[in-house]
Amino acid sequence: MSKMSTRRKLAIATWSAPQEGNIYGKLSVDATHALAYLDRVRAETGERVTITHFVGKVVGAALREAPGLNGYLRFGGYHQHSTVDVAFLVALEEGSDLGKVKVERVDEKRLEDLAREFGAAAAKLRAGKDKQFKKSNDLARALPTWIIRPLLALIGWLTGSLGVSLPAAGLEAFPFGACVITSVGMLGLDEGFVPPTPFARVPLYVLLGAIRDQAVVEDGQVVVRPMLTITATIDHRFMDGFQGAVLARKVREIFADPSLLYAAG
């Protein structure tokens, strides 16, 4: 039997038919102004800001306006997080494994500061120097798959519902915040949907596709614009149609005028 990556081992141990009702949504946005804004921030700060960082800020602003998604369930009741925290997935070992970087108070940070914090944490993960990740990863690698399923269910409930921190096992309270962001654009895929991860216990998963030049109609004229497809997987227990409309409107507004990133925060 070939050696499995931790990511694959966790997937086999935890994923099954979903027990919650999920909503799947797709939004195509014109990235023209966002890309120009990123170019300007790079030139002014020297920081390598990307569309992923930009979407993280947009999600932070949206969660401030739709606080019903910025929370967690505990004993059948909804509780709101005191801050807006977002987790970004990071490819490790040439894509064979995954780690995560949680950025706290993402709505309050400057875009360049978010990029700097994310970059430092991702580099630490890839260099194998993240002690928390190493502890939890070593534990998952050591245990057989049949034990991981109930153990992760318990750990997810303790950390993601009760907010318990377990430093000895490399686990933190609410380790994924209220949202997980990942991308398939770097793989050349236009779009996809994130399958809910049971032990993460987050209401929102956001996935970025590739930016492609597409023909769109503006003022009755066909023009070419760089379009980005953003998809979301949302736990229906947290959101109804109205909140979904708030999210979509906020995303469109900020992509049309990136200066609104800070008006919201």
pLDDT tens digit sequence for 22-80: 888 889 999 999 999 999 999 999 999 999 999 999 999 988 888 788 999 999 889 99
Residue 9 has pLDDT above 70, yes or no: no
Contact assessment for residue 70 and residue 178, using Cβ atoms and an 8 Å cutoff: yes
Q: Please tell me which of 56-60, 151-155, 260-264 the model is most confident about, judged by mean pLDDT.
A: 56-60
Q: What is the mean pLDDT of the chain?
A: 85
Query: Distance between CA atoms of 241 and 253, rounded to whole angstroms?
Result: 18
Sorted by sequence, the CB contacts under 8 Å of residue 169 that are 6+ apart come out as 135, 136, 139, 155
Give the whole-number percent of the chain exceeding pLDDT 70.
88
Q: What is the pTM of this model?
A: 0.88
Q: Rounded to 5 degrees, what angle do the CA atoms 92, 40, 105 make? A: 55
The structure tokens listed for 249 are 């409107």
- Band (pLDDT 50/70/90 cuts) for residue 144 is confident
Domains annotated on the chain, with CATH:
6-263 (3.30.559.10)
Task: Determine how β-strand 97-103 pairs with β-strand 179-183.
Answer: unpaired
Query: Distance between CA atoms of 263 and 265, rounded to whole angstroms?
Result: 6
